[in-house]
Amino acid sequence: MLSKNLLQFLSDLKENNYKEWFHENKPAYQLVKKEFEQFLAHTIAEIAQFDSSVKNIEPKKCIFRINRDVRFSKDKSPYKTNFGGFIVPGGKSAGNAGYYIHIEPGNCFLAGGIYMPASDKLKAVRTEIFENTEEFKKILKDENFKKYFKEILKDDKLKTAPKGFPKDFEDIDLLRYKHYIVSKNISEDIVTSDKFADEISEVFKALYPFNSFINEAINYQLNLNN
C-alpha cells in the first residue's frame, strides 16, 4: 500500500507547481519517491510470479521523471503531479508491452500494453493480429480480462486500414489502433489500503496474456524480418 503522505505531496505540488516550492520541499519529495520505489520493488516481485520477464528489473528503471518536458507545451508547469511506474522487460524505454501504475490525486489507474510503439514494432503487432486474429480476440473476450478491462483504448486510431493490410479484412478495426493500451481506474481509498497490492496482482495477472501476445509478436515478427 502507499501512504496518504504521497498523495498529499502530489496535491500540494499541484497547488504549488513552481521551482521555488519544489526546491524547498525536496526532502519531502525524496521521501515519497523512495516510498514509491519500494512499492514498485514489491510489485515487480509479485508480477514476476506469473511473468518471469520482469524478474530482475530495477525499480529506478521503471519510474518516470517528475520533471515535465515543456519545450512544445503551452502548459509551462515544470513538474508532473503524478508518480508513474512502467514495469517492462528492458526498462521503461525498451519499447515493449508492460505494466503501468499511475498515482495522481483524483486520477489513479492501472494500465498496460504498448504506447507509441516504433513503426516496425507497431507493424509487427498488427501483422500478428492479422495472422492470428482468433487468438487475439480470445484474449480480449476472456472473462478474467473483461472483469478489469472493457476494451482497447481508442483515443488515437486510423480512420482506414493501415498500409499493407487489406481494407476488406473482417476485423480491420483491430488493426487501426496506434497504441495497444488497456486501463482500469482505481480509487484513492484502495491505493492507500492494504488491498492495493492484491488488486494490482489480480489486475496485472489478467493483463499478462495481452502483454505476452504483443511482446511475442514483436520478437517473432522482427526476428523473421532480420
Tell me the average pLDDT across 73-96: 91
Q: For the CA atoms of the chain, what is the radius of gyration?
A: 19
Fold entry, domain 4-224: BirA Bifunctional Protein; domain 2 (3.30.930)
CA gap 24, 199 in Å, rounded: 35
Does the predicted TM-score (pTM) go above 0.75? Answer: yes
How many CB atoms lie under 10 A from the CB of residue 108?
22
CB 205 within 8 A of CB 48: no
Tens of pLDDT, residue by residue over 90-125, are 888 888 999 999 999 999 999 999 999 999 999 999
Tens of pLDDT, residue by residue over 172-206, are 999 999 999 999 999 999 999 999 999 999 999 99
Tens of pLDDT, residue by residue over 141-157, are 999 999 999 899 887 89
Residue ranges covered by each domain of the chain: 4-224
What sign for the dihedral angle of Cα 143, 177, 128, 166?
positive
What sign for the dihedral angle of Cα 104, 107, 111, 117?
negative
Distant-in-sequence, close-in-space partners of 183: CB < 8 Å, separation ≥ 6: 109, 110, 111, 149, 153
Give residue 89's pLDDT band: very low, low, confident or very high (50, 70, 90): confident
